[in-house]
């Protein structure tokens, strides 16, 4: 029998359809004593009983507004999704995109390894947990940090040993902005004096003239407003060629519309996808997928391009 293309065997059929050398069983029932007795009788030694927390995590869904209509969208946009897939720079990015979509199509959990949150926007993560260079960092980085929250990404940036000439930290929520300002005050002066907190909601009317330096890095996690943000920054993207690290999980259309728009305004950027762990304690299929759009002159030489 097959459930969402995953084969399964009912307990009363196990004796007829298994090879003890090749069988690994995951148990997901409340009372499993009889099942374990059956395993012992049949010589099945490789099994794992899910904990209650793991069962909850597997059943967990993202926020409904993130999920709504996504499966239908993916089915309708196969051609466009293939175009995004083909434009991705490296094999790992393509695998991440396929796995991200699969979790929706099969109502499943994300199965590939994810990077830790301290690396989000700045690094990927190697299989041994070390930093994976995605783009070449600069000592005089001028960073527009969109959706600064309480400043956590700024703290991680400096903790990662990175430096910047200036950080323009945009946070729309007034209470969060006050926390951001307070947290910045705890930093050593050599970092603190480089950060410019701005309490402003970002939309197509945002006045970017406050930024006098040549922008070299832009990140964005602004709850679905990423495409509008990029459009408002079009003149900066074209003239300054910054690295872009943009969340593409809030809307189903993000995986199509954001790379499509960027390719329409810059024709020699490299596109890399990486997924990071969510800050919440459940399996968030829709969380923390970041598209890096990197000018060709700053792409890491350690990334192997798909030929």
Cα three-residue angle 228-232-236, rounded to 5 degrees: 135
Gyration radius of the chain's alpha carbons: 23
Question: 163 or 45, which is more confident?
Answer: 163
Q: Can you tell me the mean pLDDT for 30-53?
A: 71
**pLDDT by residue (tens digit) across 203-243?**
777 888 889 889 999 999 988 889 999 999 999 999 999 99
Helices 91-105 and 254-265 pack at an angle, to 10 degrees, of: 150
Cα three-residue angle 296-206-203, rounded to 5 degrees: 85
**pLDDT by residue (tens digit) across 168-179?**
999 999 999 999
307 has a pLDDT exceeding 80: no
Please give the domain boundaries of the chain with CATH numbers for all domains. 2-50 (no CATH), 86-298 (3.40.50.150)
Which tokens go with 291? 């598209």
Confidence of residue 135 (pLDDT cuts 50, 70, 90): very high
Q: Can you tell me the mean pLDDT for 77-94?
A: 96
Name, in order, each residue with C-beta under 8 angstroms of 65's C-beta and a sequence gap of 6 or more: none
- Give Cα 184 distance to the centre of its chain: 25
- Which among 2-6, 81-85, 303-307 has the top mean pLDDT? 81-85
Confidence of residue 3 (pLDDT cuts 50, 70, 90): very low
Listed in sequence order, the DSSP H helices in the chain are 33-42, 52-59, 64-67, 70-76, 78-87, 91-105, 152-159, 174-184, 189-192, 226-232, 234-240, 254-265
**In Å, how far are 91, 175, 222, 290 from 108, measured between CA atoms?**
22, 36, 26, 20
128 has a pLDDT exceeding 80: yes
How far is Cα 140 from Cα 162, in angstroms, rounded to an integer?
10
CB 192 within 8 A of CB 184: yes
How many Cα neighbours within 13 Å face the side chain of 225?
16
């Amino acid at each position: 029998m097959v459930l969402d293309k995953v084969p399964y065997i009912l307990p009363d059929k196990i004796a007829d359809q298994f090879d003890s050398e090749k069988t690994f069983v995951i148990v997901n029932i409340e009372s499993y004593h009889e099942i374990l007795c059956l395993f012992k009788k049949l010589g099945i030694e490789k099994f794992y009983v899910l904990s209650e927390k793991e069962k909850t995590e597997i059943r967990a869904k993202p926020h409904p507004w993130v999920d709504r209509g996504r499966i239908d969208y993916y089915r309708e946009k196969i051609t466009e999704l293939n175009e995004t897939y083909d434009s991705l720079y490296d094999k790992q990015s393509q695998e991440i995109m396929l796995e991200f979509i699969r979790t929706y199509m099969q109502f499943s959990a994300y199965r590939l390894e994810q990077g830790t949150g301290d690396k989000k926007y700045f690094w990927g993560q190697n299989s041994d947990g070390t930093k994976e260079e995605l783009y070449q960092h600069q000592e005089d980085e001028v960073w527009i940090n969109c959706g600064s929250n309480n400043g956590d990404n700024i703290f991680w940036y400096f903790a990662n040993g990175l430096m910047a000439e200036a950080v323009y930290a945009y946070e729309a929520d007034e209470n969060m902005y006050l926390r951001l300002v307070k947290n910045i005050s705890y930093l050593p002066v050599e970092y603190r004096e480089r950060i410019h907190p701005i309490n402003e909601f970002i939309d197509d009317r945002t006045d970017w003239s406050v930024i006098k330096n040549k922008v070299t890095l832009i990140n964005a996690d602004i709850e679905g407003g990423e495409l509008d943000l990029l459009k408002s920054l079009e003149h900066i993207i074209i003239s300054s060629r910054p690295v872009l690290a943009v969340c593409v999980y809030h809307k189903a259309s993000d995986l199509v519309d954001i790379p499509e728009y960027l390719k329409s305004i810059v024709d020699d950027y490299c596109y890399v996808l990486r997924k990071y762990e969510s800050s919440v304690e459940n399996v968030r299929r829709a969380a923390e997928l970041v598209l890096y759009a990197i000018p060709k002159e700053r792409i890491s030489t350690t990334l192997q391009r798909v030929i």
